[in-house]
Amino acid sequence: MSTPSDPKDPWAYDPAATQAVPTTPPTAPAPTSSPYPTYPNPWDQYPQYQQQPPQYGQYAAQTGPAYNPYPAGGPYQPYAVAPTNGKATASLVCAIVSIFCFGPFLAVPAVILGVLARREIDRTGGQQGGSGQALAGIIVGIIVTALWVLFIVGMITLASSGNLDGTYNDTGTF
């Protein structure tokens, strides 16, 4: 219970504190003259441009034919990109797919296609691109083929030793 000598609870609800007190809105100060001098706008003294632009074809008729100092197509001719050899692209695709599936069944054709593509590209003398793709197909194809050969040789070795179930039979004699 609260007594008159107890301090007032700051969190208690006080209806008198929530009633709106009418106040007058603040007023803006009266405008005063600027302490800075005013200068005339220099652009006001020039007349505005009133002439309409010429209609299509009217300007060319007034000035004559247009002068182009460059030959047709501009001063520089665009750089022509050599088309990529299809066998080079096929070699790279076969090599990449052989990593994930079909192993040597796609790796060997990747090597063959890569070699044929490199020969064609060299024969054309730069008219075809894709030499790097063919080389990548050859390298990846050789690596995948070598790994499969090692895998098959390892499996044959395990089969010939009779140790396919993974157990180690040591008799303990030398």
Higher pLDDT, 35 or 117: 117
Higher pLDDT, 44 or 62: 44
Q: Which amino acid is at 24?
A: T
Flag whether pLDDT at 71 surpasses 80: no
Q: pLDDT digit string (tens) for 121-174?
A: 999 987 899 999 999 999 999 999 999 999 999 988 888 876 556 666 666 665
Q: pLDDT digit string (tens) for 5-52?
A: 556 777 777 766 666 666 777 777 776 777 777 877 777 776 666 666
